[in-house]
Amino acid sequence: MGKSRARRFRRPALGPAGTGQHQQGEPGPEEEPAAELLDKLQHPSAEVREYACASISKLLQQKHVIPAFLQRDVVRCLGPLLMDHSLAVRETAAGALRNLSACGGFEVCDDMVTSDIMTPLVALLKECSTELDANQLSPKKCRETNKNYVEDIANEAINLLWNICECNNTAVYIFNKEGCLEAVLHYMKKFSTNVDLAISVANCLQAVTEDNPDLLSSFNASAQQVLETVLLCPESTMKHVLLRTLIAGTIWNIKDTIPPGSLGSMVNAILKIFSESLAIDAGETIIRMNEAEKNRLKLAVEAETEENMSDVVDNCVLSEDDNMEEIPKGKLRRENDVSDLLPSDKWELKEVTALLMAQQTALEIIVNMCCSEDPSDDEWEELSSSDESDLFMENSYNEGGGLLMTPLCLSDEVHSAFLNNLIPKKILEKTAFPNSVALDICMHNPSWKPLIKKLNAVQCRALTCLHSILLVSDVDCLGGAAALQSLAQHLSQLIFSKTELPADTEFLEAVTSALRALLQTMASKNISQCMTPEQLLALCEAGIHSSNASVRVNVVSILGISGSVLAKGQDTAETLKMIGKFLLEVAMKESSLVVAGEALDALFDVFADGKEAEKAAVQIKLLPTLKEFQPVFRTRMRKEGKGQCSTDQLCVLDNVRMNLRRFIAYQETLGKTPT
């Protein structure tokens, strides 16, 4: 233990959206009972069926009503409507099922697959794909709204497919078996005219290509050409930045289909996309887009005022000649409405949201690029049976004992591309707190307020990304000793910038993970550490009370790393005593067996060697305390281990148990046992 493990990200499915979705706060049809609405799905009138689907779609965004619909077999009621003769009904039915899959979670998605939702969904996807080409010749559009029904239905269906495949392996198996990739890639070809549809497809592709070797054979040259075309599209909108980022992630997932000779250029292209995404200042973009929104709304008000004045004049003229045909006001307004020449409603907010999603996605993929797959059972057995107490110190360090790759697990040439694209520098920039002016804009604008959470998510992903890079890169690649010391100061400022330790557990886990990896790297290279003992103890005193076990593991490990460095110095016995007492208390009183094991491991590191450590160990009665605690720890492992810990955690805890025995024997040989 005491070694940090690279974290893999699995992207969550998109939240509820689509046809029939209403904004929170709007009055809804809660008075319509589930049974009545489901009955209306069988009504002969398409308008009634559409209304029922839209009402159900809205209600399904409320988790507490989902069980009532599931009890009445909502999936089997809505499923056939995916092939309804009315295009509007198809779209609203797909939107309702999409919301059900997004709001219901994994168990509901499993139930949807069990209820055979994939049969009508696959049929709909293939039919829409076929109609896309025919639609170009004779578009199925609503004359009044210029709505493209085929593409809009496809968008809802793709999002539904994405949500289900994200949660259910059977759905992915059906995706493979039914050859859905061809239809999905056909939708992607519409990226130049319908970027929203393309983004939905890209999200779905990234989900179905992750850990899906059976699909790789379907990515022939034609399929790869589609992805490459999107990757090279020159459009600079934030939606296109997101689209390219998602496609880059998909290409990484199917990297095993790329010829070895092209692998370097492929990864370089991916990293270039990520670099371009991360180079954009999200805070400045929020400020700029918010100003653009204000200007757009101002122009819209001015245009509305001019229209009203024009209506007054027209009415005066018409009243003078009753025989003159009246011009419909609606038609006049549409023809003269300046807002028709502007982007759709809230386009500025959508652009910023797309940028933040792109940056978060890029950071998550980089994390995955830097870490290995989980070790096999044989690897675990080999690790667990090793007699080397410093087993996990070799090369990189890794909580749980996972075997780490070399940087990007690729050639030096590709690793150079990683650095040439300034990925580490741009990741570091994203670890800073969000722009205060941008935060203020979001805080005082209700529709923009959700961006705060997205800004914080990008920061946390950047810190996790930094952690992964520290695991797999050497000191020179990171800029040398001075750069690491500067980074340590930066992370310390993030932690101690306020009087109290940050309460956000996600941020705290990310920043302590990065600091842990950094301090271990510095310690392994004998680089002086910048945090004072007082800062370390303050961090640990606060962090050990976190509800997040990973945070507690991190702060205990940080204390162990720093203590082991102090043990090599002069006149550090008093500080080592405080560290030792703290770690002993955690080991004996911590409710989490994993954290307790981490505390023991940290004790082994701190008191492994050095005169100051020996002196402090005697004064805190380390040896007799550990001898007394040893059977207690063994008992906890037997009683709690299998029920509370994963296989990898048990493996590491077993090493801690063996190392505790060795450490006690080592302390006894020192002849320092108090009489």
pLDDT, tens digit, for every residue of 310-350? Answer: 655 555 544 444 443 333 333 333 333 322 323 457 899 99
| pLDDT, position 355 | 97
| pLDDT, position 530 | 78
Cα distances (Å, whole numbers) of residue 628 to 222, 616, 622: 68, 19, 10
Q: Which long-range CB contacts under 8 A does 51-55 form with residues at least 24 apart?
A: 53/20, 53/78, 53/81, 53/89, 53/92, 53/93, 53/95, 53/96, 54/19, 54/20, 54/92, 54/95, 54/96, 55/20, 55/28, 55/29
Q: Name residue 634's amino acid.
A: R
Global pTM reads: 0.82
| pLDDT, position 141 | 57
Exposure class string for 638-671: b at 16+ Cβ within 10 A, else e: eebbeeebeebbbbbbbbbbebbeebbebbeeee
For residue 168, pLDDT beyond 50: yes
3-state secondary structure of 182: helix
Alpha carbon 516 to chain centroid distance? 21
Alpha-carbon gap, residue 514 to 163, rounded angstroms: 31
Using alpha carbons, select from 212, 130, 211, 121 the residue that is nearest to residue 163.
Answer: 121
For residue 15, pLDDT beyond 70: no
Q: What is the mean pLDDT of residues 84-106?
A: 95
| pLDDT, position 33 | 78
491's CB contacts (< 8 A; 6+ apart) are 431, 511, 514, 515, 518
Q: What is the mean pLDDT of residues 259-285?
A: 91
Are 286 and 442 in contact, with CB atoms under 8 Å apart?
yes
For residue 6, pLDDT beyond 70: no
For residue 410, pLDDT beyond 50: no
Q: Given the structure tokens 């399929």, which residue do they identify?
A: 223
3-state secondary structure of 331: helix
Using alpha carbons, select from 207, 215, 205, 209 the residue that is nearest to residue 179.
Answer: 215
Question: pLDDT for 562-592, tens place per residue?
Answer: 999 999 989 999 999 999 999 999 999 999 9
Cα distances (Å, whole numbers) of residue 382 to 197, 311, 377, 378, 651: 48, 83, 9, 6, 10
